[in-house]
């Protein structure tokens, strides 16, 4: 079992409680049912106390000099929400059914993103277990769970967490989360967790009262930046590094998705994200651990490979560029950032062939350069999708793609991204054409709710999919908004749902047979692409003479096609004859 500087440590006869609070001269610990007891302060600002009869299940909090009672910032469980007492958890109590699980290779990965609270009617870890067989039969090999760090209230997207070590109690007990991961592993599915190291939520963040967690030297969209490079930053860095290791070791997650790393500023000799990836690689040797980025800056350097093809730092990045070009091609939307991808099939071909569309050029929507050259990276350094929580939830009404385009175009998009050599990611319910929206939702106090409500209204005018009065958009603070996002699983079994599910399953079967075997060596040299009138052709090169090719017609007229006579055509979509392709049809083939 790994050692963590933060949080209680259970011994044979006592429990050691620790709090790093250099701003406080004195800290008391308050065990439920006992009187407060002073902790011992060392020269580095750590307050420590060993207590007997304080084992698993003990409820406690820390008392600051001004009598403010605060939870443990490394609390493992908060049954009464973020302002309540923390609970001592014995991580060794759970008996794993899959003790030998070591993960799956990245090339086998098909990701399914889900939000725990809306994935099922109950919205719990236990209820999610009941849906694992569905995902397994579909062809999913990895589940990616939106952030679980404890947040204020009963509902939240997860990006407002303030206690990074505590799975939110609205989803269940930590042992229920372990059981979910265990059951996924028994079905040969990996489990990834979305973590947020760029900010803490606006309610329940007590850390600034006693530790230098923030710095005014850096700013982020959420205010002062996290102190990764100033006075006291060593302990701050360890807090987040150990958090990443904690999820991987104690819960046996198979990887992490790091939220908005472009918003993390760090002037240290070793950037915090580099140190996190290095420590994880060093301390999880022998396991398939996959580290995923969200990075608006599209920094190819974070995705570089070692000579043997293994990632030096991070495994892959969410490829927003791929989403944008496919979305624009199918919907014709050109509001906001979509305008920078409209009417240019070369950008679509570039996203397929090289990952990033903007590779150092000025992106008009931003007004600044974006990205870096990426043709040298393998396709598996990118994660492709046509929907995710951001691209749905950042629309004014949270409407899904199924509500925007016809079935022909939606199926065409699915056949492109699920068979492309980038790693595919589905968003929950997409596989049966779910129409439930996924709007932003939260549950703060009245003052914060009012601020969120007004802030949301001010953003609507520039958001995709909005035309109308801001008062018509869903109120993110209302329970009804959250409930509207819950998947209606009964829709899966309708004729339309069954047909869409069979289609997605067939694509993932084709991927497993024809595409996956190529992925380990695909990208040995840059992909080639051609763009004609409405037509895109992309070829990826694997070891030897093997290659994978997509030909797709995104135009409004028939076009001539030219497939090599010895090609293995494994997917013709739509009205494809020997020499012609109708609009919104495509063909995938391999050679030799």
CA angle centred on 262, ends 261 and 266, rounded to 5° = 80
Helices 495-510, 407-419: crossing angle, 10 deg rounding: 30
Q: And the tokens for 185?
A: 């592993």
CA atoms within 13 A on the CB side of 427: 28
Is 294 catalytic? The answer is yes
The answer to whether 259 is a known catalytic residue is yes
Q: How many residues does the chain have?
A: 592
243 vs 266: CA distance, rounded Å: 18
Strand locations in 90-152 (E) = 111-114, 142-145, 149-150
Active-site option among 203, 254, 294, 390? 294
Chain Cα centroid distance, residue 315: 13
Angle at the Cα of 208 from the Cα atoms of 206 and 214, rounded to 5 degrees: 130
Give the three-state DSSP class for 197: coil
**Backbone φ/ψ region at 53: left (φ over 0), alpha (ψ -120 to 50), beta:** left
Q: For residue 575, give the nearest of 433, 374, 412, 364 by alpha carbon.
A: 412
281, HSE (Cβ side, Cα atoms, 13 Å): 13
Does residue 340 contact residue 365 with C-beta atoms inside 8 Å?
A: yes
Of the candidates 259, 340, 431, 443, the residue annotated as catalytic is: 259
Q: Which whole-number Å values give the CA distances from 586 to 417, 420, 525, 555, in the listed order?
A: 12, 12, 24, 11
Tokens 């908060």 sit on residue: 78
Spell 151-188 as b/e; 16+ CB within 10 A means b: bbbebbbbbbbbbbbbbbbbbbbbbbbbbbbbbbbeee
**Positions marked catalytic:** 259, 294
């Amino acid at each position: 079992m790994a050692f963590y500087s933060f949080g209680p440590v259970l011994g044979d006869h006592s429990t050691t409680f620790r709090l790093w609070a250099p701003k406080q001269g004195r800290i008391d610990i308050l065990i439920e049912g006992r009187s407060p007891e002073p902790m011992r302060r060392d020269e580095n600002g750590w307050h420590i106390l060993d207590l007997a009869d304080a084992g698993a299940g003990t409820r406690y909090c820390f008392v600051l000099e001004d009598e403010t009672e605060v939870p443990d910032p490394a609390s493992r469980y908060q049954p009464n929400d973020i302002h309540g007492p923390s609970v001592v958890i014995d991580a060794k109590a759970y008996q794993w059914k899959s003790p030998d699980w070591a993960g799956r290779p990245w090339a086998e990965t098909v990701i399914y993103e889900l939000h725990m609270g809306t994935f099922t009617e109950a919205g719990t870890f236990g209820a999610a277990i009941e849906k694992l067989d569905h995902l397994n039969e579909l062809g999913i090999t990895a589940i990616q769970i939106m952030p679980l760090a404890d947040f204020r209230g009963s509902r939240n997207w997860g990006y407002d967490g303030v206690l990074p070590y505590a799975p939110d109690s609205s989803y269940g007990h930590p042992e229920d989360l372990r059981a979910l991961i265990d059951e996924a592993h028994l079905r040969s599915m990996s489990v990834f967790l979305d973590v947020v190291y760029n900010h803490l939520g606006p309610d329940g963040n007590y850390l600034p009262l006693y530790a230098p967690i923030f710095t005014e030297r850096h700013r982020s969209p959420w205010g002062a930046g996290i102190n990764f490079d100033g006075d006291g930053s060593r302990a701050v860095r360890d807090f987040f590094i150990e958090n990443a290791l904690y999820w991987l070791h104690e819960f046996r997650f198979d990887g992490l998705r790091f939220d908005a790393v472009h918003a993390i500023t760090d002037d240290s000799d070793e950037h915090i994200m580099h140190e996190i990836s290095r420590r994880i690689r060093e301390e999880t040797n022998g396991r398939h651990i996959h580290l995923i980025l969200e990075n608006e800056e599209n920094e190819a350097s974070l995705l570089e490979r070692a000579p043997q093809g293994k990632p030096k730092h991070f495994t892959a990045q969410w490829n927003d560029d791929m989403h944008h070009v496919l979305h624009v091609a199918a919907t014709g939307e050109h509001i906001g950032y979509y305008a920078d991808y409209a009417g240019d099939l070369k950008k679509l071909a570039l996203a397929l062939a090289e990952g990033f569309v903007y590779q150092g050029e000025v992106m008009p929507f931003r007004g600044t350069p974006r990205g870096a050259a990426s043709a040298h990276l393998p396709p598996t350094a990118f994660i492709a999708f046509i929907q995710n929580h951001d691209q749905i939830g950042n629309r004014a009404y949270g409407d899904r793609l199924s509500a925007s385009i016809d079935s022909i175009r939606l199926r065409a998009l699915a056949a492109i991204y699920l068979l492309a050599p980038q790693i595919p990611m589905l968003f929950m319910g997409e596989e049966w054409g779910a129409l439930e929206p996924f709007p932003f939702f939260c549950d703060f106090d009245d003052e914060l709710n009012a601020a969120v409500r007004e802030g949301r209204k001010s953003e609507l005018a520039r958001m995709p999919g909005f035309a109308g009065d801001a008062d018509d958009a869903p109120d993110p603070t209302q329970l009804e908004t959250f409930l509207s996002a819950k998947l209606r699983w009964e829709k899966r079994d309708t004729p339309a749902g069954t047909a869409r599910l069979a289609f997605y399953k067939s694509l993932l079967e084709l991927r497993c047979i024809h595409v996956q075997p190529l992925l380990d060596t695909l990208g040995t040299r840059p992909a080639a692409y051609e763009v004609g009138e409405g037509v895109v052709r992309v070829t990826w090169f694997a070891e030897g003479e093997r290659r994978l090719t997509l030909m797709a017609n995104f135009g409004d007229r028939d076009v001539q096609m030219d497939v090599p006579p010895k090609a293995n055509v494994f997917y013709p979509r739509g009205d494809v004859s020997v020499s012609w392709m109708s609009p919104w049809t495509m063909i995938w083939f391999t050679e030799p």
